[in-house]
Structure 1
Amino acid sequence: MLRVLCFTLALYAVSGANLVEVLQASGKSTLVSLVQKAGLADALTQGTFTIFAPTNAAFDKLPADLLAALGEDVYALANVLKYHVVQGSVRKQDASNELQLDTLTGQKIRLNIYSHNNEVTVEGSKILDFDIQTSNGYVHVIDTVMLPPEGSIVDIVAGASELSTLLSKVLSADLVTALQGDRLTLFAPTNQAFSQLGSTVLDNLAKDPQLLKEILLYHVVPSTEYSAGLHNRESLRTLDSHQDRIKLNITGDSIQVKNGKVLSADISATNGVVHLIDHVLVPRRHLGSALLGKK
């Protein structure tokens, strides 16, 4: 069905149709109706733009209450839709890994190219079809609605009640600056994950800031790794001083990072992405006496 739709859009493009007319070729889709509701249809015909266009199924994946709230708040709706629009023409051949593009909101969206599984994503959303040309720009079809991030990785950790323990550890280890660098992935243990370590281990981490820093940096990968780009048995280098690696096991939609299960994936940040996990990850070399407090 998607291929038929894109073929139809391409035919409209050949006839000299503009962005809105090409989008309308899909019928009364969710995207078209929301663009009209937000009062953006005319603006999208006045200039050259590239639209990352979510499918109807992408909108269906949004929580019903969020979609309803957007329908009642035209300003918020327009902001979300503008986050999918870039000024100028951006084609597939212009894409590069970690490229950031300025959207009409003034915020950036990040492109990632994962060559091992031939996926290209924008803010973690898979690009299903590229380069549908119109008279005033291009359309790329995506599988997920992109929501503007609520700040940097540090901001996301600070704003999540289930990550309050992680936040306190980041502050204790003086890692705020490190987590504000660009192109980062944080596998973020929840409060429950830290509580599972037990009082002895937590006490030893509190007494040894360098050890705590190493453990925390073992959860940080120096590249933006959205779930669409992960693959089974992949080994990711981390930011700890030994550049230890963490291994992934993926079965269907389930992602395991060592002994930690990803509870919530693909939380976009302005400088990367956060995945919540249910265990604290510990490099093998720290599983001995130092961490356990034995002589």
Structure 2
Amino acid sequence: MTNLAHPLSKLGIPNPSILSQLEGNPPIWITRNKGDIYVNNAKIIQNRSDYMHPNPSGKQQVLHIIDQVLVPIRSANKDSAAIYNPDAFQFLNQSENLDMGHHRFRSFRQRVNQNNKGNVFLTEGKNTFFIPVDEGFKPAPRPDKIDQKVIDGHIVPNHVLFTDATPKDKDYETMAFSDNVRVTISFTVQTDGKNPTYYVKSNTIVGDPNHSEGVVLAEIVKANIPVRNGVVHLIHRPLMVVDTTVQQFLEDQEDGPLYKFYNKIRDEGGDFMAEITKMRDLTLFAPSNLAWTTANIDKLYTPEKLREVLNLHLVNERITIEKIMEENINQVQTAAERKKLYFNVIKRENNVTLTVEGGGVNATVIQPNIAATNGFVHIIDRVLGVPYTNVKEKLETDPMLNNTFFLGQQGGFNDMLADKNKRFTYFVPRDYAWKRAEIHFPSAHKKLFMKDYSYHVKQILERHLVVDDRAYTMAELKKLANDTIVLRTVRDHLKLRIKESDKSYYVEWQGEWIHVFRPDVACTNGIIHVIDSVFLKESDVRVTGSPSVPLMAPQLTIILSVAMLLSVKCLLL
């Protein structure tokens, strides 16, 4: 309740807060986000609000309906000294007298006092403060890393950020954002299909010898505590501090965003964790809890196959999303034998998304660059190596295979690729391969992408598609081919030679050795091998006659022969 009437059109304008009628008049913070209006963390249900009516004395009143109860700061018990409308500094120093449940934050308060940083919690205006609880100050050396810059990295000035009211994954500059060190903060949320869990992540974009670059992820254990100069969130560990290995980070996620991944490693992964522990430089692409729920891997794989799947997520070097972009890295070797990960960077306006493909699964990196002392962790939204799409769906969703999918849509060729009762081995030219074809066969290439030539397109794609009672990996094809292997395609037969060189596969067709850019892309009904050239000849597309009707030489010969016989008969008569 406030002592003034605030209709929706004026709520929070120009001031971001209004005074409540609670004793001490603590503020109610107003946030406007893409048409939605929030009071503290409660969303106003606008179609049920703005009800205005004067009271008996004629004073205007307004009623708004919200989706949460507004909870003020309360004293811990009746004997505690009453504290009304504290600022963040009073909150920090009087925490024992406040009702914060079992949460205590003496350790952080001690570091604030030792570093003479109490003044930043007195900052007037609108601010956001993240305070780590005592449980997050283990192991023992961690408290010593909480210096003045780290304390500044827990405060966002000039913004009051409530969890629901704040856009997710939007970066806000902290007090630790300067010329020498640059630290931002953003919110993220994880869910395994049940209740969402909120996290805050600090991203040290530019570090120094005492502050490592990378992301530190902390769970918000008590959110949205309003204070006079902003809002406070209690978090489970300090931000900015990189002092754990990848193994320790996983073990710290008992109820976190990677607990299902950790449980899978601990219970069924053999010595996978021991291998991670020994590595000095690594990158782990870790599937989220929801990814493991949707993968349903338990019913599909043996322990040996599970270990191969785990190895597919591990890379023996440090890789950040910035390194991938700056050095144009498109593939890396994994701990799984002869298995690589393939990267694709998608840029849309100001957003950059990294996708990673491994074992036929294309995953999106939903949380990059979580820093550890011996590497980085990237959280992804799929379990690699556990296919969930058929051949048609894979073509449709893979950004590297757009042209082949487009051509296959002509004449309905792609429809057969969804057949779950067949097993396909499909040599799929990537977009780069079609660009090469345009250079070598410009006339044929031009016509293939015209609707009138769908028959020719169908014939060419049929040449690439092997249908058998099983799908073949490149290793299996190489083993079968002593010299030349003949595969039964939809069209007729495909004669190939196969070799392996410098850990890559090559297939020979019509005298040309073609690089297999991505072998063994597993699908639910087959395997795709992504190749760097098209099985294409200039004669595949003929330019005479009507393009929509195939020119078939035997039929033309018969027609001409009959015409000649009729001419001869007429002459004789």
| TM-score, normalization by structure 2 | 0.30
What is the letter of the counterpart of residue 332 of structure 2? L
Question: Which residue, out of 82, 87, 106, partners 2:316?
Answer: 87
User: Does the alignment pair 1:60 with 2:306?
Assistant: no
Provide the rounded CA distance (Å) in 2 between the counterparts of 1:126 and 1:246. 30
> Secondary structure at 2:248's aligned position in 1?
helix
Query: How far has the Cα of 1:288 moved from its partner?
Result: 3.7
What value does the CA root-mean-square deviation take over the aligned residues?
4.6
Q: Which residue of 2 aligns with 1:42?
A: 274
Unaligned stretches of 5+ in structure 2? 1-188, 191-197, 202-216, 220-236, 393-399, 417-425, 451-473, 475-515, 526-540, 557-573
Query: How far has the Cα of 1:137 moved from its partner?
Result: 0.9
Provide the rounded CA distance (Å) in 2 between the counterparts of 1:132 and 1:92. 11
User: Does the alignment pair 1:8 with 2:246?
Assistant: no
> Which deviations, in whole Å up to 9, do the C-alpha atoms of 1:159-189 show, x marking residues without a partner?
x8x9xxxxxxxxxxxxxxxxxxxx7664395
Query: How far has the Cα of 1:67 moved from its partner?
Result: 2.6
Question: Which residue, out of 110, 113, 138, partners 2:345?
Answer: 113
Query: How far has the Cα of 1:11 moved from its partner?
Result: 4.7
Identity %: 19
What is the letter of the counterpart of residue 252 of structure 2? A
User: Does the alignment pair 1:104 with 2:335?
Assistant: yes
What is the letter of the counterpart of residue 431 of structure 2? P
Q: Is the 8 A contact 2:285 2:313 kept in 1?
A: yes
Provide the rounded CA distance (Å) in 1 between the counterparts of 2:413 and 2:240. 54
What is the letter of the counterpart of residue 89 of structure 1? R
Q: Which residue of 2 aligns with 1:222?
A: 431
Structure with greater helix percent: 1
Q: Whose RCO is larger (CA < 8 A, sep 6+)?
A: 1
| Number of equivalenced pairs | 204
Q: Is the 8 A contact 1:125 1:142 kept in 2?
A: yes
Query: How far has the Cα of 1:237 moved from its partner?
Result: 6.7
What is the letter of the counterpart of residue 129 of structure 1? Q
Query: How far has the Cα of 1:111 moved from its partner?
Result: 0.8
What is the letter of the counterpart of residue 222 of structure 1? D
Alignment of 1:203-222 (within 5 A): 220-222=429-431
Q: Is the 8 A contact 1:237 1:246 kept in 2?
A: no
Q: Which residue of 2 aligns with 1:129?
A: 367
Provide the rounded CA distance (Å) in 2 between the counterparts of 1:289 and 1:53. 50
Provide the rounded CA distance (Å) in 2 between the counterparts of 1:195 and 1:134. 45
Q: Is the 8 A contact 2:287 2:383 kept in 1?
A: yes
Q: Is the 8 A contact 1:13 1:22 kept in 2?
A: no
Alignment of 1:269-284 (within 5 A): 271-272=517-518
Provide the rounded CA distance (Å) in 1 between the counterparts of 2:437 and 2:522. 15
CA spacing shift, 1:5–1:58, aligned 2, 3 Å: farther
Query: How far has the Cα of 1:271 moved from its partner?
Result: 2.8
Q: Is the 8 A contact 2:315 2:332 kept in 1?
A: yes
> Which deviations, in whole Å up to 9, do the C-alpha atoms of 1:88-121 show, x marking residues without a partner?
2111121045611110013111011122363211
Q: Which residue of 1 aligns with 2:65?
A: none
Q: Which residue of 1 aligns with 2:379?
A: 141
Q: Which residue of 2 aligns with 1:265?
A: none
Provide the rounded CA distance (Å) in 2 between the counterparts of 1:292 and 1:221. 28
CA spacing shift, 1:222–1:15, aligned 2, 3 Å: closer
Mean Cα deviation higher: 24-33 or 10-19: 10-19
| TM-score, normalization by structure 1 | 0.54
Q: Is the 8 A contact 2:321 2:354 kept in 1?
A: no
> Which deviations, in whole Å up to 9, do the C-alpha atoms of 1:119-145 show, x marking residues without a partner?
211102111111111121110111111
Query: How far has the Cα of 1:220 moved from its partner?
Result: 4.3
Provide the rounded CA distance (Å) in 1 between the counterparts of 2:218 and 2:276. 20
Larger Rg: 2
CA spacing shift, 1:195–1:80, aligned 2, 3 Å: closer
Provide the rounded CA distance (Å) in 2 between the counterparts of 1:237 and 1:23. 44
Provide the rounded CA distance (Å) in 1 between the counterparts of 2:401 and 2:292. 27
> Secondary structure at 2:309's aligned position in 1?
helix
Q: Is the 8 A contact 1:18 1:136 kept in 2?
A: yes
Provide the rounded CA distance (Å) in 2 between the counterparts of 1:105 and 1:94. 22
Provide the rounded CA distance (Å) in 1 between the counterparts of 2:324 and 2:363. 14
Provide the rounded CA distance (Å) in 2 between the counterparts of 1:46 and 1:98. 25
Query: How far has the Cα of 1:5 moved from its partner?
Result: 7.3
Alignment of 1:159-238 (within 5 A): 186-187=404-405, 193-194=412-413, 220-223=429-432
CA spacing shift, 1:147–1:291, aligned 2, 3 Å: same
Provide the rounded CA distance (Å) in 2 between the counterparts of 1:136 and 1:17. 8
> Secondary structure at 1:121's aligned position in 2?
strand
Q: Is the 8 A contact 1:221 1:237 kept in 2?
A: no
